Structure 1
Amino acid sequence: MRRPLALLLWLLPCVGLPMGATTVYKCTGSDGKVIFQDSPCGKAQRQQTLDLPDVATQPAPVAPPQPSATTDRADAAPTPPPLEPAAPLPRMYACIRATDGKAYFSGNGYPEPYLAPFGMLGAVQMPLAHAYGPAGGAGISAPEVNRGKITPGLVASNYVWVQDQCRPLTVQEICHALQDAYDENARKLRRAFKSDRPPLEQRDNELRAQLGNC
């Protein structure tokens, strides 16, 4: 009795064949018993062969292509700029200008003294009659008339040495001042021409590094 081909295919995985076998022999005895083997059948058996592909010659599975570093990444999210390494916070001082009382920030807590007109300090209100009067004054205020009449004694008596007063900022105040400076520099950078950008970009990197410690 001939067995259907489907039964043959179902039985093939159960046959212990060596890895290099390419031909399977179907041997049918006189009693109708079927045996599958890798060697030719006996003389008393009816033989049929089935050719199978060699396992060793099977093509290896192809791995899916991996994205290359040069692959176009138009659809990928933009890579953020690298963070600048944190830099130590600078020493900063809040100073008051001696001549007009205006506040400003400085990296120097001991500004150099400078000469300022005594009248600008608001300590003494000197009337014009005293400044230009006959009692040792400079005369009338017209520059062409006063040439040669301003003496060293007159200058010394109306100019004094002054120095701005400063105090060190706290860490919180320094961070606030650095953030203001960064915002102002960023506004200049957005409006700057290409030739004017390098110093602003350098300042931007410095401020970002310092703000890393805030």
Structure 2
Amino acid sequence: MRILRWAVAATACLAIGAATAETVYKCEAGGRTIYQQTPCAKGQRQQTIRLQDAAPAVDRPAPAGVPPPATEEAPPTAPPGPSAPPPTLFGCIRATDGKPYTSDNGNPEPYMAPFGVLGAVSQPLADTYGNRGSAVASAPELNRGKGNVAGIATSNYVWVQDQCRQLSPAEACAALRDESEANQRSIRNAFKSERGPLEAKDARLQKQLQGCR
């Protein structure tokens, strides 16, 4: 019985090593049985046993009706949103004094201005202020309550309109940056009660500057 148990254990050990040894020798001598990987000694009864190679492991299919395990997928990347368009601004020249300014309106409304401030007429002071019915009066006459004050307010006005041209994107961005810096300085120097309109203007300028980045 002990020999039989030893033989079973030897067979199990050889089966574990079957991947590397294909031939096993069964040796019998003196009532004992020995299993070994080398041929039996001379005088022993030998029996050759061929062992099969271990079968390669295969993936077993999932049972029917069982869904395959879910694989975690990366969330889809949202496409980048459209960039803000460059600002559209116009560089304008004030008709009354020739000073430049920027505006988002390239066709400003006409307005009335005193004809004298336009510099279109040049005449001697005597002709301008010399008679009582003239449209304007000298400063001393105004101080004494004399002169045609109503004529100053209602006469010699003409319609004028500022001239504008569209700025290039680079010019518009430069103008907006300058205006934004000046407005932020005003916010820093203003009282808290005065910052409301300035902060609203800053928000509008920052929105326009998004197209400049």
TM-score, with structure 1 as normaliser: 0.48
Asked which structure has the greater CA Rg, the reply is 2
